[in-house]
Amino acid sequence: MSTCPYLVRSRHSMLGSRSGLLKQYCSMSFSPPALKRRRLGNNERQPITVTVKHPDINHLQVYSWNINGIQPFIQRPITSFFRPKSSTSKGPKGDAPTTASLRDFLRRHDWPTILCLQEVKIKPDDKATKSAVQKAVKSTVAGEPDYEAHFCLPTDPHNARGFGRKIYGVCTIIRKDWIARFKPVVRNVSWDLEGRIQITETENPSFSIWNIYAVNGTDNAYKSQTGAVEGTRHDRKLAVHKHILDEAKLLEEQGYHVILAGDMNIARSRIDGHPNLRTYPQQHVINRADFNKKFFDTDNGLKAIDTYRHIHGDEKGYTYYPRGREFGSSCDRVDLIICSRSLGRNIVDAGICATEKERGPSDHVPLFASFNLAQNPSGGPEELTRRDDMT
């Protein structure tokens, strides 16, 4: 242990010589500080109590987040090794900084049932990264809930080859006690090879929960599995809308209650864009109208409920906050959680975690919807206020 230089110099001046200092120092009697005396007087260590909030198995809480790459969540950046352990730095709005940790996220949000991650950007054959994600969601504290991760990564040989195949991809993280109780089946769909759709399904009650990273419409070419050009990415986006609608309606006919969660790459209406709603090029307007018609039309569409609008009415809220701009100066609500109309009575809460802290290393913030499973979902359409159908 180092000694304060000022203390040494002052004793030299008092004793006059090095030998005198040593002799007097050795003859001195020191009492331990008060805190240490208390420790020495009680050799028994006090147990550390960790309070764990256990989630309700009948409360289905679905979180969704486009994280824009999984890497920051599974490894410590080199700069973290040089930071003080007890940092008191604050964010621009006074929020304490949040590390990119999946366990911290799950703990902070009271152990969601399901966390749907989009744009994880994992190479299809990267077993090491997938294993690291499994480790990152695993419980390390006794009594805390455990989780497991499921992946849907791109296998398309023509439309998902950029960035060394670290592109697109979704990951569904499910709490293990819920798995033990409801025994879900996690599956992909045959019409998606870009790693954009993953479905978790249960029986008794029958739920079909979709993790979606929807196509972002552009004028770039979309290629068939033979490599032939089949229109643009705008055309593909509309085709995926139809695929989702057809399968979701079929599931509802079979008695499933459908929840679609993820980055839909659509801002539904004027209220969902700030400062302006994207209307150029014109194809974005067409894509928006197609999405609203397919999923919210009460005649031929899914007749779905927009959970955020169902709870918050016309309150503004956004999920996409591009980096490089002042937070909140330009944003859109393009991430949604929508559900079958039969779940209207079961929705107990929905919201958006719209802070820089929650955005973390991404350019999207998380959103959530909560459902009460203790009350049986209704078997058909029900009376609802029109706010959830707002277009």
Residues 70 and 17 in one domain: no
Task: Report the C-alpha gap between 51 and 110 in whole angstroms.
Answer: 12
Cα separation values, 23 from 19, 157, 349, Å: 6, 82, 74
Closest CA relative to residue 329, chosen from 356, 351, 352: 356
pLDDT for position 377: 84
Residue 20 lies in a domain: yes
> What residues are paired with 170 via a beta bridge?
118, 152
Task: Report the C-alpha gap between 295 and 343 in whole angstroms.
Answer: 15
Closest CA relative to residue 337, chosen from 373, 298, 371: 371
Q: How far is CA 181 from the centre of its chain?
A: 23
Query: To 10 degrees, the CA torsion angle through 378, 383, 388, 391?
Result: 130
Residue 45 lies in a domain: no
> From the CB of residue 120, how many other CB atoms can be counted at a distance below 10 Å?
27
Considering the chain, what is the average pLDDT of its residues? Answer: 84
CATH of residue 75's domain is 3.60.10.10
Q: Is the pLDDT of residue 368 over 70?
A: yes
317-337 pLDDT, tens digit per residue, is 999 999 999 999 999 999 999
Residues 112 and 226 in one domain: yes
pLDDT for position 55: 86
- Averaged pLDDT, 341-361: 97
- Averaged pLDDT, 11-23: 45
pLDDT band at 161 (very low <50, low <70, confident <90, very high): confident
Identity at 368, one-letter amino acid code:
F
- Averaged pLDDT, 285-310: 96
48-95 pLDDT, tens digit per residue, is 444 566 788 899 999 999 999 999 998 654 444 344 444 333 433 434
364 is in an annotated binding site: yes
Residues 362 and 312 in one domain: yes
Q: Is the pLDDT of residue 12 over 60?
A: no
Task: Report the C-alpha gap between 351 and 337 in whole angstroms.
Answer: 10
Residue 48 lies in a domain: no
Residues 140 and 169 sit within 8 Å (Cβ to Cβ) = no
Q: Is 339 exposed, middle or buried (0-12, 13-18, 19+ CB in 10 A)?
A: buried
Instruction: Measure the CA angle with vertex 381, ends 182 and 307; round to 5°.
Output: 65
- Averaged pLDDT, 344-366: 97
Task: Report the C-alpha gap between 188 and 66 in whole angstroms.
Answer: 18
pLDDT band at 99 (very low <50, low <70, confident <90, very high): low
**Helix ranges (DSSP H) in the chain:** 5-15, 18-27, 34-40, 102-108, 127-137, 176-182, 233-253, 282-296, 307-312, 356-359
Q: What are phi and psi of 9, to 5 degrees?
A: -65, -40
Residue 224 lies in a domain: yes
Instruction: Measure the CA angle with vertex 248, ends 244 and 254; round to 5°.
Output: 155
Residues 336 and 296 sit within 8 Å (Cβ to Cβ) = no
Residues 129 and 74 sit within 8 Å (Cβ to Cβ) = yes
Q: Is the pLDDT of residue 8 over 70?
A: no
Count of domains forming the chain: 2
126: containing domain:
59-389
Residues 163 and 196 in one domain: yes
pLDDT for position 48: 45
- Could you tell me whether strands 59-66 and 114-118 are parallel, antiparallel, or unpaired per DSSP bridges? parallel
pLDDT for position 75: 65
Q: How far is CA 232 from the centre of its chain?
A: 30
Q: Is the pLDDT of residue 25 over 80?
A: no
pLDDT for position 318: 98
- Averaged pLDDT, 368-372: 98
Residue 50 lies in a domain: no
Residues 32 and 82 in one domain: no
Residues 281 and 370 in one domain: yes
Residues 157 and 205 in one domain: yes
> From the CB of residue 250, how many other CB atoms can be counted at a distance below 10 Å?
12
Residue 132 lies in a domain: yes
Residues 34 and 109 in one domain: no
Q: pLDDT exceeding 90 applies to what percent of the chain?
A: 70
Residues 30 and 156 in one domain: no
Residues 65 and 20 in one domain: no
- Averaged pLDDT, 158-187: 94
pLDDT for position 76: 55
265 is in an annotated binding site: yes
pLDDT for position 54: 75
Q: How far is CA 85 from the centre of its chain?
A: 26
Residues 124 and 17 in one domain: no
- Averaged pLDDT, 293-305: 94
Which residue has better confidence, 73 or 380?
A: 73
Q: Active-site residue numbers?
A: 222, 263, 364
Which residue has better confidence, 199 or 30?
A: 199
Identity at 320, one-letter amino acid code:
Y
Residues 11 and 155 in one domain: no
Q: Is the pLDDT of residue 341 over 80?
A: yes
pLDDT for position 328: 97
pTM of the shown model: 0.81
58 is in an annotated binding site: no
The beta strands (E) that lie in the chain are given as 59-66, 114-118, 147-152, 170-175, 185-187, 197-202, 207-213, 221-223, 229-232, 257-263, 273-274, 305-306, 331-332, 335-339, 347-352, 367-372
Residues 201 and 189 sit within 8 Å (Cβ to Cβ) = no
66 is in an annotated binding site: yes
pLDDT band at 127 (very low <50, low <70, confident <90, very high): very high
Residue 364 lies in a domain: yes
Residue 208 lies in a domain: yes
- Averaged pLDDT, 12-18: 44
